[in-house]
Amino acid sequence: MRDRDATGRARNSRPRDASGRPLPRGAAGVDRVPDDLVLPPDESVTEAQRLLDDGLPFQAHEVLEGAWKAAPADERQLWRALAQLAVGLTHVQRGNDRGAAALLDRAAGHLAEWDGPAPAGIDVPGLRAHAEALARQIGHAGVAVLTDADVRPRLRGADPL
């Protein structure tokens, strides 16, 4: 029987590992992002970056998905691309070459469609280039050759010196 919330919607309350996979009930998992979490854009980027830096791209995806669903119509594609980028990184973490390359390519394509200043200081050109480069690298050598820096992109660009 599936877990359900008060409105009857299916919810999986099982603990999850760092890559978002469900664990047996009672196992110790990582902290979950609440299903209904919606943060302002700046806080969404800050929290997603913290999660990426901590090696938790699945959880970063959940934060970015909340921002995507709450975003104004003209920003939704951008937030969706960021969520796809995080899912691509989740596939990297899970060792799924094909899934990682496909999601990173998709994210890069949607980032390429963005025109104009990005909300919350998001580095759209940098993230697009990063996603494209990772997808190519995975296509040539697989996810096993990627470094920690490869899977922890800077959502707002390079850190200031």
Q: What domains are there in the chain, each with its CATH number?
A: 41-145 (1.10.3450.10)
Tell me the pLDDT band of 6, cut-offs 50, 70 and 90. low
Listed in sequence order, the residues at least 6 apart from 155 whose beta carbon sits closer than 8 Å to its beta carbon are 45, 48, 49, 52, 82, 122, 123, 127
- Note the pLDDT tens digit of each residue in 16-36: 777 777 767 888 777 777 777
Whole-number pLDDT of residue 152: 96
What is the chain's percent helix, strand, coil content, to nearest 5? 55, 5, 40
On the question of pLDDT at 81 being above 90, the answer is: yes
The answer to whether 45 and 155 have CB atoms below 8 angstroms apart is: yes
Our CA angle for 64, 82, 47, nearest 5°, is 40
Determine the Cα–Cα distance for residues 137 and 80; give it in Å rounded to an integer. 23
Mean local confidence (pLDDT), 59-74: 95
Whole-number pLDDT of residue 143: 95
The SS3 assignment for 30 reads strand
The SS3 assignment for 16 reads strand
Mean local confidence (pLDDT), 7-13: 65
pTM of the predicted model over 0.95: no
Whole-number pLDDT of residue 111: 98
